[in-house]
């Protein structure tokens, strides 16, 4: 009889993994059961900025960030915030984040992330082809905008990194040059880097639904249920769900910002935090957006989504339980209207999501300490969509028992 694999979490990471595994196991008489308490792409994967940001390799924790943080925290609606009621709980994570910003760990994270991004780009192209998804992909590049020559010079280390890792880009040195790629921006943006390799999806929710449809069409099974417990036993791993339990040969925990709650009873203490992000989606006609826009200093991006425009970003280290503070989304939209005169800010829909983040900005892709049959695929932070197809291929390698196609040492659960 074929193997049964249960995937917990139907976000973009879980659905991609389920599709990759179902495609492989079906031919061997096996099956994949995908479980989610809320539905398909019902959480973070539905409302993100839709970017396949393969050109981004720098971790959040970088040398010098500790000096920048106090300035950011002074502005309660600035690019980074820590709600006071959550600060004490966050301290262990912040200490690890600080350590990850030291030169040695920073360089190690970049090297691992860069190698992973190369793998993810190739895996994503394979996935797009596999599911005939090209119609949902935009290949329009991205502008990274600066308001002075000094601001551009200050960002030089991040462009040097792109040089080091072979990322193609063009430097633009006047509002006129910028306007040739994206007209209608404020002339205060005098410098920009344009990365033509930046891709995005027309709608991240529709993209996951498309992958999910392929999973079902290939014989995959979906159950909308909450996972209550994972119990390794001699003849399989027993999963207690809200209704009938399931026994599996392999389990993949891909539950985004909730994954650490499942790992803890298994003896793995994953320092997973939520970098909460906010956005507003404006309907078609809001702006003639021809590429993605990154306003890095201000901590937000503007993306073409659902034929309209999504304005979003910010990092709020606030955990899973605090209510959203939509003043953050308002603040980003006000700034966008200033930088994009002519942006119609009417009839927007606001959203908040939980980026599942480890201190070194790398995900965990690997086996649980106590049981080889249980795998983690979680903590993709700002890049869950970008890295979903790449993660799915690696998870399939591990479940099937093949050597993974890249070295996973930097992604192990026990690295912390």
Interacting residue ranges for ligand FAD, rule: CB under 6 A: 8-14, 35-38, 42-45, 48-51, 53, 226-227, 254-258, 277, 279, 312, 353, 355-356, 378, 380-386
CB of 242 to ligand FAD, least distance (A): 9
- Which of 190/359 has CB closer to ligand FAD? 359
CB of 403 to ligand FAD, least distance (A): 24
Rounded to the nearest 10 degrees, what angle do helices 12-25 and 388-400 cross at?
A: 40
Task: List, in order, residues 6 or more apart from 153 with CB less than 8 Å away.
Answer: none
Residues 231 and 237: beta-carbon distance below 8 Å: yes
CB of 8 to ligand FAD, least distance (A): 6
CB of 67 to ligand FAD, least distance (A): 25
Supply the DSSP symbol for 143: E
Closest CA to 339 of 293, 291, 303, 284: 293
* Chain-centre distance for alpha carbon 26: 28
Handedness of CA 181, 186, 191, 196 (dihedral sign): negative
CB of 29 to ligand FAD, least distance (A): 26
- Which of 154/229 has CB closer to ligand FAD? 229
Residues 373 and 235: beta-carbon distance below 8 Å: no
- Which of 11/308 has CB closer to ligand FAD? 11
- Which of 103/243 has CB closer to ligand FAD? 243
Task: List, in order, residues 6 or more apart from 166 with CB less than 8 Å away.
Answer: none
φ, ψ at 240 (rounded to 5°): -90, 120
CB of 65 to ligand FAD, least distance (A): 20
Residues 191 and 168: beta-carbon distance below 8 Å: no
CB of 170 to ligand FAD, least distance (A): 21
- Which of 179/261 has CB closer to ligand FAD? 261
Ordered DSSP codes for 340-395: STT---TT-EEEEEEEEE-TTS--EEEE-SS-TTEEEEE-BGGGTTTTHHHHHHHH
- Which of 172/254 has CB closer to ligand FAD? 254
- Which of 40/190 has CB closer to ligand FAD? 40
């Amino acid at each position: 009889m074929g193997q049964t694999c249960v995937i917990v979490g139907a976000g973009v990471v879980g659905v991609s993994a389920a599709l990759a595994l179902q495609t492989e196991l079906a031919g061997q008489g096996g099956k994949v059961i995908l479980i989610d308490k809320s539905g398909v792409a019902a959480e973070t994967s539905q409302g993100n900025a839709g970017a396949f940001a393969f050109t981004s390799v720098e971790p959040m924790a970088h040398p010098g960030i500790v000096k920048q943080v106090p300035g950011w925290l002074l502005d309660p609606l600035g690019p980074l915030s820590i709600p006071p009621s959550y600060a004490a709980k966050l301290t262990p994570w912040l200490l690890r984040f600080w350590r990850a910003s030291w030169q040695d760990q920073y360089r190690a994270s970049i090297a691992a992330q860069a190698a992973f991004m190369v793998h993810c780009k190739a895996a994503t192209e394979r996935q797009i082809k596999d599911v005939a998804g090209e119609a949902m992909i935009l290949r329009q590049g991205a502008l990274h905008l600066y308001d002075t020559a000094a601001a551009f010079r200050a960002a030089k280390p991040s462009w040097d990194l792109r040089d080091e890792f072979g990322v193609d880009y063009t430097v633009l040195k006047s509002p006129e040059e910028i306007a040739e790629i994206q007209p209608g921006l404020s002339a205060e943006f005098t410098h920009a880097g344009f990365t033509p390799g930046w891709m995005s999806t027309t709608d991240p929710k529709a993209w996951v639904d498309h992958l999910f449809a392929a999973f079902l069409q290939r014989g995959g099974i979906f159950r909308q249920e909450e996972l209550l417990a994972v119990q390794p036993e001699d003849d399989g791993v027993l999963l207690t769900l809200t209704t009938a339990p399931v026994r599996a040969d392999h389990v993949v925990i891909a539950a985004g910002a909730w994954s650490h709650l499942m790992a803890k009873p298994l003896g793995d203490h994953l320092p997973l935090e939520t970098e909460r992000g906010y956005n507003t989606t404006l309907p078609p006609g809001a702006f003639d957006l021809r590429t993605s826009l990154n306003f890095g200093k201000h901590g937000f991006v503007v993306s073409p989504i659902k034929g309209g425009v999504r304005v979003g970003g910010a990092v709020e280290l606030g955990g899973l339980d605090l209510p959203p503070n939509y003043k953050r989304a308002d603040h980003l939209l006000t700034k966008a209207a200033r930088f994009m005169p002519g942006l119609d800010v009417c009839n927007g829909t606001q959203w908040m999501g939980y980026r599942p983040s480890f201190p070194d900005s790398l995900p965990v892709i690997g086996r649980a300490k106590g049981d080889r049959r249980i795998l983690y695929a979680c903590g993709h932070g700002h890049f869950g969509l970008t890295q979903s197809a790449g993660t799915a291929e690696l998870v399939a390698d591990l479940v099937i028992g093949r050597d993974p196609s890249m070295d996973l040492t930097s992604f192990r659960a026990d690295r912390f």
